[in-house]
Structure 1
Amino acid sequence: MQKTAKVLVERLWKHPFYQKRVKRSKHYLVQDDLGVKSGDKVIIQECRPVSKRKRFRIIKVIR
């Protein structure tokens, strides 16, 4: 896993009955050709399967 990064994606979800906003999060394994560091914010894009669990790649580093 030389060029693999684990990315956390957070989104806000609104409960249909209680109308409360809840933060949901999910981890994705992504192809890391840019060599990002831990704590960087990145933009990812879906691509063809690179391996068994990698279906995304890093497009751009925000900071």
Structure 2
Amino acid sequence: MTEATQNKVEHAAVGRVVSDKGDKTITVLIERREKHPLYGKYIRRSTKIHAHDADNTAKSGDLVRVVSCRPISKQKTWRLVEVVESAVVV
């Protein structure tokens, strides 16, 4: 094992798929709660990221786990690991 692979840190996140319109691309909304520095109230903050979905398995509304990776395109620096929970089809 080389030093480059030993120091590699994978950042993982769990979020909800808000769009699956692109080919092999999903848009994931990651929500987190932050405490306000002065008032102490918890605030919901969110981040939208683009993730690589090679098999087009994730659909809109699914809960997915993504992990950071090398840049695949200008905006895609995350890839899909697994679909944690499928969306309810109505």
- Note whether the superposition's TM-score is higher than 0.5: yes
Paired residue type of 1:9: I
2:42 corresponds, among 12, 17, 21, to 21
2:54 corresponds, among 33, 37, 49, to 33
CA distance in 2, matches of 1:48, 1:7: 17
List gaps (5 residues or longer) in structure 1. Answer: none
Structure 1 segments (4+ residues) deviating >2 Å: none
CA distance in 2, matches of 1:7, 1:45: 12
Which of the two has greater helix per residue? 2
2:79 corresponds, among 51, 57, 60, to 57
Identity %: 43
* RMSD over equivalenced CA pairs, Å: 0.9
TM-score by length of 2: 0.67
1:9 corresponds, among 14, 22, 30, to 30
TM-score by length of 1: 0.94
Count of residue pairs the alignment pairs up: 63
CA distance in 2, matches of 1:16, 1:36: 36
Bigger Rg over Cα: 2
CA distance in 2, matches of 1:4, 1:10: 19
